Structure 1
Amino acid sequence: MNKSKVCIMLSTYNGVKYIDEQMESLLAQHEVDVQIIIRDDGSSDGTVQKLNEYAQSHLDKIRVIEGENLGVIGSFFELMRQTEPVYDYYSFCDQDDVWKPDKLRRAVAKLQLRQTNIPLMYCSSTQMVDQDLNNLNVWPTLPPKTLSMYNAMVENCCVGCTMVLNPIAFEQIRGSAPIDLKPVIMHDRWIYLYVSALGEVIFDEEPMILYRQHQENVLGGGSEDWLMKWKNRLKRFFSEGSFSLSKQASLFLETYREYLSAQQQRDIRHFLNQLDRSWVQRIRYASKMPFYRQAFLDNLVLKLIYVLKKI
C-alpha cells in the first residue's frame, strides 16, 4: 500500500535554538511520505545554515527557500504560493515545536474517513510545554459548539501548526489568496474561516504536538489566578478588536462572495452594516447575532466589543 504524500510547510525566522528538535520530529513521522518545504523569513542567526545542512543530508525530502522578511502571515501565504499542488495532504508547521510520531498518520486517517469532494481541514489540541518541553496544560480543548463560519468569523479554535488540509482546501485557498493581506488577522484564522464556511473542519482532542511556550507568548500555562485570567482575557479581546474582526470579515466577503451561500452573505453583510447603526440597534443586534465564541463568557465579551464598535 502506497504511503500518503504529505507536504509540510515550515516558516522559520531566527529559530536556530530549537530547529533541530522540530526537524527531527518531522523526519520521524510514521507511515507517511513527508516532503518538507521551508521558507526562511530573513533570519539573521544560524537558522538558514542549519536548514541547509538538513537539506543537504535529505535531498529527496527537504527544500529550503531563502526569502525576504514578510512577517508570519506573508511568509505562510508565500509558502503556499511556492508549493506545487501535487501532494495528497498539506500541513503547516512552526519552527520550535515537537511533533508526535503519529501526528500526520492520525490526521490522514481521519481525513480519509470524510468525503473528498469538499474542502477538509484537520486540527488538534496541543500539549503545551515550557522551553524545556515540560508539560503545562492541554490547549485548546474540544470546542463545545459547532466549528462553523459563524464561530470562525469571530474566534480561532484551530492552531495553525496542527492543521492538515486535503488537496481541494489547499488548492482553493492557494488560488484565491487576497492580494492585500493587511486585514488578515493570521493565516490560520483565514484558513479556518474558509474551510468552516465552504467545507468541514475535523477537530481531534488528542494532542498531537508539543507546543512550546516562551515567556513572550505564553497562552496560559495554568499558573494564573482567576483575576489575572480575566484581565488577560479582556486585554486580548480589546487588542484583537480595534476593527480587525470586521476588516477581515469584509475582506472575506469580498474575496469569496460568489462561493458563499445567500444566507452566509446576508449574515456577514448584516454583521458589518449594523456597526453603523445606533447603540440601541447595536445592542439589539448583538443580543441575537448568529456569530458566537465557544465559551459563554467569551461570547459575552464578543457582544460587548460589538456594541462598543471595537470589533
Structure 2
Amino acid sequence: MSLLHNLEDPDLENTGSHTSVAILLATYNGGAFLREQLASYEAQHHGNWYVWASDDGSTDRTLEILAEYQERWGKRMTVVAGPHQGFVANFLSLVCRPEINADYYAYSDQDDLWEPEKLTRAVAWLSMVPPSIPALYCARTRLVDEQGRDRGFSPLMRRPPSFANALMQNIAGGNTMVFNAAACALLRSVEPGVEVVTFDWWTYLVVTGCGGQVHYDPIPTLRYRQHGQNLVGASISWSKRWARLGFMWKRRYVLWTDIHARALQSLGPCLTLENALILRTFLWARQQTLGKRLLGLKRSGVYRQHLVGQLGLFLAALFNRI
C-alpha cells in the first residue's frame, strides 16, 4: 500500500467522480516545467477537472505549450490574459472570474508535479462538508529539485488550523489548496484590487475568519519543485526559518499585519463574532505599552505552529515588531 493510501479519514474509493474541479493555473515564463505539470493533471484519479490558465505575459514557450494542450484537451482548457500585476493578482483574478463555475477550485503553480491522488484526497474531505459552509483543503508537500529528485518535505503542521493562527502565518502553500464554492464566493465578495500579502495566505484568512472549515493533510499530495526561478520557496532549512523570523525584527510583519487588517475590513459582517473579537484584541494589543501588549497578545490567542515561531512571536511582541 502506498504512502498516499495510508489514511484513516477520506474514503478514496467512494469519492464522487461527478463533482467538478476548476484548476486555476497562473503562468509566467514557465515553459521549462509546464508540460510535466499539465501531464500530472492527466494522471489524476479524479477525472472531472478542467483548467483555466491565466498567463501574465510570458515571452518563452509557455503560450505555445498552453495552445498545444488547449487543442489536445478542447473545452477542458481555457487560456486567458492575466492582469500583468504579479502572481498574487494573477491568481486572485482567476478566482474572481464569474464565468468559472465548479464544485471545487484548485490553485496550481506552473512547475510542480501533482500526485495522482491529489484531487481525490481533496474532494474526499471537501465532500464531507455541507456545501453552504466555506471549506479549504491544504496539504504538506514533498520537495524536489529541478530534476525532480527528492529534497525532503515541507514542515509538518501539528496545531489546528484557525483564524488565530492565520493572523500569524499561512500553514500551507497555495499549490496544495482546494476549496469549495462557498469559499470561492467569499473570495469573490471582496472588493476588486484589495491588497493582500499572498493569495494563499489570504485564502486561509478568509475561510477561517468567516467560520469555514480547514483541513491540513499531513500526507504530501504534490512534489513542490525548488529552483532558481521560484518566486516563493519552502522554508525547510533552519537558516530559512530563522530568516523568516528575521522578517519580524525588520518590521516586515508589521507591514503584513497592516495590509491584512485593511483587507479584512472588506469582509465586514462575514467575520464571525468570535474572530472579529480576536482581530480587535490583537490589533489593540499592537498599540499598547509592553505589559498591555503582551497581555493583549495572550488574550487574542494568536499563535504560530512551531516552537521557534512561537519564540519569534514572543520576541516580536516584546520589541513591538508585530
TM-score by length of 1: 0.90
Contact 1:74 1:181 in 2 (8 A): no
Change (3 A) 1:108 1:244: same
Shift of 1:55: 0.8
Gaps of 5+ in 2: 1-15
Shift of 1:47: 1.1
Paired AA for residue 126 in structure 2: L
- Aligned-partner Cα distance in 1 for 2:128–2:168: 29
Gaps of 5+ in 1: none
Matched, 1:194 2:206: yes
1:77-226 paired onto structure 2 within 5 Å = 77-82=92-97, 84-141=99-156, 143-174=157-188, 176-182=189-195, 184-197=196-209, 198-215=211-228, 218-220=233-235, 224=237
Per-residue CA distance 1:97-142 (angstroms, 9 max, x = gap): 010111111211121123332001111111111111111112131x
- Aligned-partner Cα distance in 2 for 1:194–1:245: 15
- Aligned-partner Cα distance in 2 for 1:131–1:94: 14
- Aligned-partner Cα distance in 1 for 2:98–2:250: 33
Identity among equivalent pairs (%): 31
Counterpart residue number, 1:254:
265
Shift of 1:70: 1.3
Change (3 A) 1:113 1:305: same
Task: State the SS of the aligned residue for 1:267.
Answer: helix
Please point out which of 5, 18, 27 is paired with 2:33. 18
Shift of 1:46: 1.8
Per-residue CA distance 1:40-83 (angstroms, 9 max, x = gap): 01112221122111112211210011234110111011111225
- Aligned-partner Cα distance in 2 for 1:95–1:11: 7
- Aligned-partner Cα distance in 2 for 1:160–1:87: 18
Counterpart residue number, 2:8:
none
- Aligned-partner Cα distance in 1 for 2:233–2:182: 34
Counterpart residue number, 2:61:
46
What RMSD, in angstroms, separates the aligned Cα atoms of the two structures?
2.1
Per-residue CA distance 1:180-238 (angstroms, 9 max, x = gap): 433x11000011111122210011111110100114655355xx5x5x35642433444
Change (3 A) 1:172 1:68: closer
TM-score by length of 2: 0.87
Contact 1:4 1:32 in 2 (8 A): no
Shift of 1:9: 0.3
Counterpart residue number, 2:320:
309
- Aligned-partner Cα distance in 2 for 1:169–1:242: 26
Counterpart residue number, 1:286:
297
- Aligned-partner Cα distance in 2 for 1:207–1:290: 29
Contact 2:96 2:187 in 1 (8 A): no
Contact 2:126 2:135 in 1 (8 A): yes
Task: State the SS of the aligned residue for 1:122.
Answer: strand
Counterpart residue number, 2:306:
295
Change (3 A) 1:162 1:239: farther
- Aligned-partner Cα distance in 1 for 2:106–2:142: 18
Contact 1:96 1:212 in 2 (8 A): yes
Please point out which of 53, 68, 90 is paired with 1:75. 90
Paired AA for residue 167 in structure 1: A
Paired AA for residue 261 in structure 2: S
- Aligned-partner Cα distance in 2 for 1:239–1:205: 32
Shift of 1:162: 0.7
Task: State the SS of the aligned residue for 1:283.
Answer: helix
Matched, 1:55 2:70: yes
Task: State the SS of the aligned residue for 2:151.
Answer: strand
Contact 2:140 2:155 in 1 (8 A): yes
- Aligned-partner Cα distance in 2 for 1:188–1:275: 24
Shift of 1:177: 2.6
Matched, 1:33 2:48: yes
Contact 1:128 1:138 in 2 (8 A): yes
Shift of 1:287: 4.7
Contact 2:281 2:299 in 1 (8 A): no
Contact 2:33 2:111 in 1 (8 A): yes
Shift of 1:147: 0.4
Task: State the SS of the aligned residue for 2:129.
Answer: coil
Shift of 1:85: 4.8
Paired AA for residue 54 in structure 1: Y
Change (3 A) 1:82 1:230: closer
Paired AA for residue 213 in structure 1: Q
